[in-house]
């Protein structure tokens, strides 16, 4: 790997320096808290999300430490603890944020790993910064982890950390989990620094992916590019054994069940339907405003159904929540602009006074409001072009206790491998989306119940804490155990290559 300015002889440094004391260290791009200046005296608040929930209890019980970027500039000091967990903030300057986060992470890796839906941008300066920041995270972990401790690294922003950390601290056990897809070789090998990323990941003892196909993509590439040997689940490289497997992430079913049971949330769901004009059918989309999520195409399909009269203003209403995301990126800006044109054309063409056909919310909302929306929606539209898992689909299923509710789901979301009771669609096929919505609208209640029951059995089999435990026990036992048995691989499509093979 290229020399980097912060790199000194790590082996020598850590051989001399005393080790840290944390038995278990989590490294993620962000700390589990965020700065929110509008909230009065307490300016730091826990970040929502299953990852934080899943890891909090493990960290609390194991003298844990969470290393991450606090999300604000250095002049605002992040707290040292959160709910009894030690926090270690890694500083990232504004220029580094541009090159490491917006640049290499989100304009190179994100599109490349999502089927190159937008052309990935390759910049040598971004790559240099990516290496430097990864090294900074690895050094922070090397300084903090106790002898023979465990480090769990998360996601695509930190793929070099496993090998960097191993070089500094060969005594520790290292796990890595990728939350997004791992692309097939045809795409991955476009990356000028493809070998460095693969050897970076191979520094881990266990590499977890959302679906088995991603693990196979990785292992095949590792064999081809850097001469690793072995199978898709057990690789040999540099005299070590590296395991790769699928550990599909899931939702916090305990929190969702408690939220659904909350009378105020149920009343809010009823109120939402009243506010929408008591339509017969509410169709809902909830996505980060991201070009991978297929929002425009889905709404175009729905708009065509209003045009043809299959959907009728007043009877059918769409709610689209598009959570603001990566707003300083031009691709995201364009996506928002185009989406807002589709939304306004839908209302302009098909709505009438007092009955817009779509309600568009470009905002963050409390989790309780999200659950109220899930409860208010008859049809949930989840149609990403490519998605590591997609937790929205699982959250919707977890909310629908009464076994009503229909899920239209992209076959290219990791969740499709588990949620076989959904109405499956190819998100690029507008007619296919229309057909699935039609089928969902006409389906008999008994069919809907059977589909929802099938999906709920899957979702309630494991909580997000079970997901974390299963990864950590595989990491600590050194077994190749993955959760691949969760999948119905014969009926899911998980890569561009698979589609080509099927259709060819
Ligand atoms: C990445 C991968 C993988 C959304 N709006 C609000 C809100 N949310 C919550 C949802 C859900 C989460 O955000 C979105 O998760 P997704 O899985 O759908 O998508 P990504 O953000 O792209 O996540 C993905 C995931 O990592 C986990 O591994 O599944 O494939 O791309 O939980 O509920 N939460 C609140 N307010 C909102 O407005 N509170």
Q: pLDDT tens, 402-454?
A: 999 999 999 999 999 999 999 999 999 999 999 999 999 999 999 999 999 99
Asked whether residue 436 falls in the same domain as residue 289, the answer is yes
**Across 386-452, where does the E strand assignment appear?**
406-410, 423-425
Q: Is residue 447 in some structural domain?
A: yes
Cα 288 to ligand 1 centre (Å): 7
Cα 298 to ligand 1 centre (Å): 18
What is the residue whose two structure tokens read 């807002």? 340
For the chain, what percent of residues have pLDDT higher than 90?
78
Cα 195 to ligand 1 centre (Å): 30
Asked whether residue 167 falls in the same domain as residue 59, the answer is yes
Asked whether residue 261 falls in the same domain as residue 302, the answer is yes
Q: Is the CB of 392 under 6 A from ligand 1?
A: yes
User: 427: Cβ–Cβ under 8 A, 6 or more apart, which residues?
Assistant: 294, 297, 298, 383, 384, 385, 410, 412, 433
Last residue of a domain, one of 198, 215, 246: 246
Number of Cα atoms under 13 Å in the Cβ half of residue 470: 23
d(CA 376, CA 447): 20
Asked whether residue 239 falls in the same domain as residue 373, the answer is no
Q: Is residue 61 in some structural domain?
A: yes
Asked whether residue 268 falls in the same domain as residue 240, the answer is no
β-strand partners of 355:
352
Q: Is the CB of 249 under 6 A from ligand 1?
A: yes
Asked whether residue 158 falls in the same domain as residue 242, the answer is yes
Q: Is the CB of 365 under 6 A from ligand 1?
A: yes
Last residue of a domain, one of 459, 483, 498: 459
Atom of ligand 1 nearest to the CA of 366: 39
Measured in degrees and rounded to the nearest 5, phi and psi for residue 227 equal: 75, 20
Q: Is residue 489 in some structural domain?
A: no
Please give the pLDDT value at position 500. Answer: 29
DSSP secondary structure code for residue 79 in this structure: P
d(CA 107, CA 124): 13
pLDDT tens string 339-378: 999 999 999 999 999 999 999 999 989 999 999 999 999 9
Domain that holds residue 397: 253-459
* CATH label of the domain that carries residue 188: 3.40.50.2000
Q: Is the CB of 387 under 6 A from ligand 1?
A: yes
Asked whether residue 216 falls in the same domain as residue 345, the answer is no
- Which of 424, 426, 420, 417 has the alpha carbon at shortest distance from 451? 420
Asked whether residue 189 falls in the same domain as residue 301, the answer is no
Q: Which residue's alpha carbon is at the smallest distance from atom 36 of ligand 1?
A: 365
d(CA 26, CA 35): 20
Cα 67 to ligand 1 centre (Å): 21
Q: Is residue 307 in some structural domain?
A: yes
What kind and span of H or E run contains 395? helix 391-399
**Does residue 422 contact residue 455 with C-beta atoms inside 8 Å?**
yes
d(CA 334, CA 496): 25
Cα 85 to ligand 1 centre (Å): 23
Q: Is residue 482 in some structural domain?
A: no
Greatest extent of the chain over all pairs of C-alpha atoms, in Å: 75
Q: Is the CB of 428 under 6 A from ligand 1?
A: no
Asked whether residue 261 falls in the same domain as residue 217, the answer is no
pLDDT, averaged per 10 consecutive residues of the chain (504 residues), comes to 48 58 94 76 73 82 91 80 90 94 96 95 98 98 96 97 98 97 97 98 98 97 98 97 97 95 98 97 96 96 98 97 84 89 96 95 94 98 97 97 97 97 98 98 98 98 93 84 45 34 26
β-strand partners of 413:
387
What is the residue whose two structure tokens read 């997609």? 390
Cα 348–Cα 353–Cα 357 angle in degrees, nearest 5 = 55
- The structure tokens listed for 152 are 């769990």
**388, 196, 145, 93 alpha-carbon torsion, rounded to 10°:** -80
Cα 391 to ligand 1 centre (Å): 6
- Which of 103, 135, 122 has the alpha carbon at shortest distance from 4? 135
Asked whether residue 277 falls in the same domain as residue 359, the answer is yes
Q: Is residue 14 in some structural domain?
A: yes
Asked whether residue 94 falls in the same domain as residue 220, the answer is yes
Number of domains in the chain: 2
> Strand 234-237 and strand 240-246: pairing?
antiparallel
Please give the model's pTM, rounded to 2 decimal places: 0.92
d(CA 237, CA 163): 12
Atom of ligand 1 nearest to the CA of 325: 21
Cα 29 to ligand 1 centre (Å): 15
Q: Is the CB of 46 under 6 A from ligand 1?
A: no
Q: Is residue 469 in some structural domain?
A: no
Please give the pLDDT value at position 489. Answer: 38
Asked whether residue 232 falls in the same domain as residue 275, the answer is no
What CA–CA distances, in Å, run from 89 to 26, 69, 144, 152, 453? 12, 5, 12, 16, 43
Q: Is residue 471 in some structural domain?
A: no
Q: Is the CB of 391 under 6 A from ligand 1?
A: yes
Measured in degrees and rounded to the nearest 5, phi and psi for residue 236 equal: -120, 130
Q: Where are the alpha helices (DSSP H) in 63-158?
A: 94-96, 110-113, 124-144
Cα 203 to ligand 1 centre (Å): 28
What is the residue whose two structure tokens read 């599909």? 248
Q: Is the CB of 368 under 6 A from ligand 1?
A: no
- How many residues does this entry show for the chain? 504
């Amino acid at each position: 790997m290229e020399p980097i300015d912060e790199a000194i002889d790590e082996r020598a440094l850590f051989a001399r320096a005393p080790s840290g004391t944390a038995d278990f260290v989590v490294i993620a791009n962000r700390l589990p808290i965020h700065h929110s200046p509008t909230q009065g005296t307490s300016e730091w608040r826990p970040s929502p999300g299953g990852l934080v929930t899943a890891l909090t209890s493990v960290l609390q019980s194991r003298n844990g430490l969470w290393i991450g970027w606090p999300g604000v500039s250095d002049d605002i000091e992040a707290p040292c603890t959160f709910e009894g967990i030690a926090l270690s903030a890694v500083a990232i300057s504004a220029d580094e944020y541009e090159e490491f986060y917006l640049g290499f992470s989100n304009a190179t890796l994100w599109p490349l790993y999502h089927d190159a839906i937008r052309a990935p941008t390759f910049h040598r300066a971004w790559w240099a910064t990516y290496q430097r920041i990864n090294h900074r995270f690895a050094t922070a972990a090397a300084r903090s982890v106790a002898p023979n401790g465990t480090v769990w690294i998360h996601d695509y922003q930190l793929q070099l950390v496993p090998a960097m950390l191993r070089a500094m601290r060969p005594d520790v056990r290292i796990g890595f989990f990728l939350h997004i897809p791992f692309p097939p070789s045809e795409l991955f090998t476009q990356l000028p620094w493809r070998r460095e990323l693969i050897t970076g990941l191979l520094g881990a003892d266990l590499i977890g992916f959302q679906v088995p196909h991603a693990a196979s993509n990785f292992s095949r590439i590792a064999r081809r590019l850097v001469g690793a040997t072995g199978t898709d689940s057990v690789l040999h490289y540099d005299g070590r054994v590296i395991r790769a497997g699928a550990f599909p992430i899931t939702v916090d079913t305990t929190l969702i069940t408690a939220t659904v049971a909350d009378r105020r949330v149920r009343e809010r769901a009823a109120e939402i339907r009243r506010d929408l004009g008591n339509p017969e059918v509410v169709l809902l989309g909830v996505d980060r405003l991201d070009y991978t999520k297929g929002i425009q195409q889905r709404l175009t399909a729905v708009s065509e159904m209003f045009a043809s009269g299959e959907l009728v203003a007043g009877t059918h209403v769409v709610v689209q929540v598009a959570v603001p995301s990566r707003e300083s990126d031009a691709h995201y800006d364009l996506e928002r602009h185009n989406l807002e044109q589709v939304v306004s054309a839908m209302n302009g063409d098909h709505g009438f006074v007092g009955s817009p056909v779509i309600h568009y919310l470009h905002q963050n909302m409390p989790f309780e409001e999200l659950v109220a929306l899930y409860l208010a929606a008859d049809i949930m539209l989840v149609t990403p072009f490519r998605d590591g898992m997609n937790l929205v689909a699982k959250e919707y299923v977890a909310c629908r206790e009464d076994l009503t509710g229909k899920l239209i789901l992209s076959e290219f979301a990791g969740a499709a491998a588990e949620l076989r009771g959904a109405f499956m669609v190819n998100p690029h096929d507008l007619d296919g989306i229309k057909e699935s919505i039609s089928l969902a609208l006409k389906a008999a209640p008994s069919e809907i119940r059977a589909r929802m029951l099938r999906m709920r059995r899957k979702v309630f089999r494991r909580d997000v804490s079970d997901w974390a435990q299963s990864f950590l026990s595989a990491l600590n036992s050194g077994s190749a155990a993955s959760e691949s048995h969760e999948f119905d691989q014969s009926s899911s499509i998980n890569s561009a290559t698979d589609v080509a093979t099927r259709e060819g």
